[in-house]
Structure 1
Amino acid sequence: MILEKYVKLYKNYLKLERSMAQNTITSYLFDIYKFQNYLKDLESTVDLLHVDETLVRDFIYSISEFIAPSTQSRIISGLKGFYDFLVLEKYINQNPVLFIDVPKLGRKVPEVLAIEEIDNMISNIDLSTDEGNRNKAILETLYGCGLRVSELVDLKISDLFFEEGFIRVTGKGSKQRFVPIANQTIKWITIYKDEIRVHLKIDPKDEDILFLNRRGKQLTRAMIFTIVKDLAKLSNILKKVSPHTFRHSFATHLLENGADLRSIQAMLGHESITTTEIYMHVDRSRLKEVMELHHPWSGLNIKKEFD
């Protein structure tokens, strides 16, 4: 099919020239096929290469009732990128998505766990099993280093620089950063690596991967979600908890304890400081306290002036 040729070229473009992560590429291609299936359902004679703006708008309207605005935005962005590529390569003359705006999104406040809730979850891990010791190391790493779940499952033994107190993390777009690691996290990773992992029959292709399943293969993202959700349930935590919740909690607790946004941005691997600023919501009371303590026109100083 001729269309497959263009999708394959676009896939290679995203991977080689844009250096996008595989999960992002998969999402973009999925959205292209979703639009293609919409055209098929219409029994339209128009294919993806010859659609106009009206058809794209009709497609977005058709999914708007059951797909969240954030997902709509991703689909529009993905289609816009696909047609930008086709224009760039001169396969078409005009991008039909060019003037379609993404839905306006409110900034969603991330769910955050209290330190006591994190301690409770970790204390409920069964350390009498090999998997329990591995899971403790996993949660210590998620919270202690603020990793994305994809960064956690891809973490390698060769990424551990314990003597220097850092780990090397490969984030979105294959960009690497160094993240500080606490002694407590080093301790539990070392226990898992030296006392549990060494006894596994490891798949040759996963020899350098740190966290493995019982068959010696790399853990999946889905498995990390399952581990976290099971522990949250066991700990009677009613919040919506996922591996990403530990990343949010990592950033929030750093901010609460006086870390600056630029440092948090570097540790999280955010390309823009705007993304990191979402964590500013969490500690309004602390910001008020800082202002009252340090601003020369604070209520305390004004009171002294008039006494």
Structure 2
Amino acid sequence: MDSLIESFLEFKEVNAGRSVRTVQVYRLALNRLAVFMGDRGLLEASQDDLLAYTGPYLHKMGLAPGSRFTHIVAVKEFYKWAASTRKISTSPAASVPYPARGQSLQRVMTLKNAEKLLWAADFQTFEGVRDGAMLALLIGCGLRVTGLVDLNTSNIIEDELDGKVRLLLKVKEKGNKERKLSIPPEADLLLRMYMASEELKHIDRTLPDGDQVLFVTVRNRNVPAHDYHGEKRRFNRRSVLMMVKKHGENAGIPEDQLHPHALRHLFGTELAEEEVDILVRQRLMGHADPKSTAIYTSMAMRKLTRESDRGNPLTKMRTPVTDILKRLNKDG
């Protein structure tokens, strides 16, 4: 049965272009299903079996609706593939419903806190310069964490834009889709400082194809010293989260903003604040669906506040505090 799951996962990664992260989620969901089925094979599952697995079974495991949703996607995709390759006649998962999910509020780091976070890194140290460069790319390019940690030196290219030499970024994220981004001047300089650091020159981060890992760790207790090179030097998603939390806590930033994705939300919100065209925003954010991009328009509070202040009825009448506000605005 393991070989069946692996054949499906290979198809999704190679033929369908799913990301490594998506394949990992699919593998987890299907291995859990195999445990649920016991002595019976996955191809023997009925619709009732799948309803029991995706409903009560996963719920008792403590999975929230959002996590169950991804498991159901994996199950549906697996049996769709099994039917298309004639391993079964029809998919028993076709009518399995998705759980209802409440829409969670996006966690956005404020501009002020993002500035504090960036300054929290110790730029007198190699690790501080590295962290500053990573944070600048998260803030200034809106990268997903997977896109950040997967970067190699070949993903950084130089080009001339408006008569100036600028660094550009080739990044692959969801669905293994590649997009090219210009790196803001501030992130550009921090990245150049990191890549030029003397410490980095002495770290073996070369990959089998001759490329090099971009952002490296300096210690890993789980890897023997003789094996600590190349791919095993790469930062992982959890390390980025821990780095953001460490600097954020030191800077006194509220805990609900201490997540790398909060920086991506800041990037999207600021694009909306500046009324960047939604198609441009969609490309910069790497969204397949413009509806995902449109969410940030509703989060652009400075723009909404300006428009509200300009057009609301209270600004067009004399109120008990109108004179006070005028004096305060004049003094300010």
| TM-score strictly above 0.5 | yes
Amino acid at match of 2:172: T
Of 54-63 and 128-137, deviating more is 54-63
Amino acid at match of 1:271: A
Q: Percent identity?
A: 22
Q: Residue 92 of structure 1 corresponds to which residue in structure 2? A: 88
- TM-score by length of structure 1 reads 0.88
User: Aligned match of 1:262 in 256, 279, 288?
Assistant: 279
Question: Are 1:202 and 2:198 counterparts?
Answer: no
Question: Quick check: 1:109–1:278 contact (8 Å CA) kept in 2?
Answer: no
Within 1, Cα distance between the matches of 2:155 and 2:272? 26
Amino acid at match of 2:193: I
Within 2, Cα distance between the matches of 1:278 and 1:196? 43
Question: Are 1:153 and 2:149 counterparts?
Answer: yes
Question: Quick check: 2:270–2:300 contact (8 Å CA) kept in 1?
Answer: no
5+ residue gaps in structure 2? Answer: 161-165, 219-227, 318-332
Question: Quick check: 1:153–1:220 contact (8 Å CA) kept in 2?
Answer: yes
Q: What is the SS of the residue equivalent to 1:208?
A: coil
Q: What is the SS of the residue equivalent to 1:169?
A: strand
Written as runs of structure 1 = structure 2, the 5 A alignment for 1:224-239 is 224-239=240-255
Q: Residue 105 of structure 1 corresponds to which residue in structure 2? A: 101
Q: Residue 222 of structure 2 corresponds to which residue in structure 1? A: none
Within 1, Cα distance between the matches of 2:268 and 2:174? 18
Question: Quick check: 1:143–1:249 contact (8 Å CA) kept in 2?
Answer: yes
Q: CA deviation at 1:163?
A: 3.2
RMSD: 2.4
Question: Are 1:247 and 2:245 counterparts?
Answer: no
Q: CA deviation at 1:226?
A: 1.2
Q: CA deviation at 1:219?
A: 1.5
Q: Residue 239 of structure 2 corresponds to which residue in structure 1? A: 223
User: Aligned match of 2:173 in 171, 174, 196?
Assistant: 171
Question: Are 1:135 and 2:135 counterparts?
Answer: no
Amino acid at match of 2:28: F
Q: What is the SS of the residue equivalent to 1:191?
A: helix
Q: CA deviation at 1:172?
A: 1.8
Question: Quick check: 1:87–1:93 contact (8 Å CA) kept in 2?
Answer: yes
Deviations 1:116-154 (A, max 9, x none): 101111111111211011111110111111101111112
Question: Are 1:63 and 2:62 counterparts?
Answer: no
Question: Are 1:213 and 2:230 counterparts?
Answer: no
Q: How many residues align?
A: 294
Within 1, Cα distance between the matches of 2:145 and 2:79? 31
**Aligned CA distance change for structure 1 residues 106 and 279 (closer, same or farther; 3 Å):** farther
Q: What is the SS of the residue equivalent to 2:137?
A: helix
Q: CA deviation at 1:244?
A: 1.4
Q: Which runs of 4+ in 1 moved over 6 A?
A: 291-294
Amino acid at match of 2:132: K
Amino acid at match of 2:287: H
Q: What is the SS of the residue equivalent to 2:180?
A: strand
Q: What is the SS of the residue equivalent to 1:265?
A: helix
Within 2, Cα distance between the matches of 1:64 and 1:140? 39
Of 207-216 and 112-121, deviating more is 207-216
Q: CA deviation at 1:253?
A: 1.5
5+ residue gaps in structure 1? Answer: none
Within 1, Cα distance between the matches of 2:199 and 2:157? 18
Deviations 1:85-135 (A, max 9, x none): 100000011211111111122332211111110111111111121101111
**Aligned CA distance change for structure 1 residues 149 and 195 (closer, same or farther; 3 Å):** same
Question: Quick check: 1:197–1:212 contact (8 Å CA) kept in 2?
Answer: no
- TM-score by length of structure 2 reads 0.81
Within 1, Cα distance between the matches of 2:179 and 2:76? 30
Deviations 1:194-215 (A, max 9, x none): 1245432223217422212226
Q: What is the SS of the residue equivalent to 1:186?
A: helix
Within 1, Cα distance between the matches of 2:180 and 2:270? 19
Question: Quick check: 2:140–2:187 contact (8 Å CA) kept in 1?
Answer: yes
Deviations 1:256-303 (A, max 9, x none): 122232212101111111122222331356347548979xxx979x99
